[in-house]
Amino acid sequence: DAKTTQPNSMESNEEEPVHLPCNHSTISGTDYIHWYRQLPSQGPEYVIHGLTSNVNNRMASLAIAEDRKSSTLILHRATLRDAAVYYCILRVGPYNTDKLIFGTGTRLQVFP
């Protein structure tokens, strides 16, 4: 199974940008990069995903390295509600038969 490597934890102050890194050196050409986050005792929440190009949505931005072996999730202004475990996941497999394999994730703490 495709694997990702993330730091165990990161810290940020409120209203500062946060860059969450992820390494996925074994990624193949058709694997999508997904980010989900999970608050305590809740199911994961979709954040963003991409294939090759950088992506932006209302929650975050995803910067993908040119060789696709790493990516960075960018929260432009962290809030206390952004404190969660962030999972970088490779979606592997053909369309409609693919699955998500979760890694250990990064626990983000946000301080007021």
Partner 1 sequence: GAVVSQHPSRVICKSGTSVKIECRSLDFQATTMFWYRQFPKQSLMLMATSNEGSKATYEQGVEKDKFLINHASLTLSTLTVTSAHPEDSSFYICSARDAEGTNEQFFGPGTRLTVL
Q: In this structure, what is the dihedral angle of CA atoms 103, 95, 71, 44, given to the nearest 10 degrees?
A: -50
35 binds partner 1 (CB under 8 A): no
- x/- mask, partner 1, residues 66-95, rule CB under 8 A, reads ---------------------x-------x
CA–CA dist 41, 89 (Å, integer):
20
Tell me the sheet residues that pair with 25: none
105 binds partner 1 (CB under 8 A): yes
- Which residue stretch of 15-23, 45-53, 66-74, 75-83 sits at the interface with partner 1 (rule: CB under 8 A)? 45-53
- Which residue stretch of 16-24, 40-48, 67-75, 76-84 sits at the interface with partner 1 (rule: CB under 8 A)? 40-48
User: Residues in the chain, how many?
Assistant: 112
**Half-sphere exposure of residue 71: CA atoms within 13 angstroms, side-chain side:** 28
Q: Residues interacting with partner 1, by CB under 8 A?
A: 36, 38, 41-46, 49, 87, 95-96, 99-105
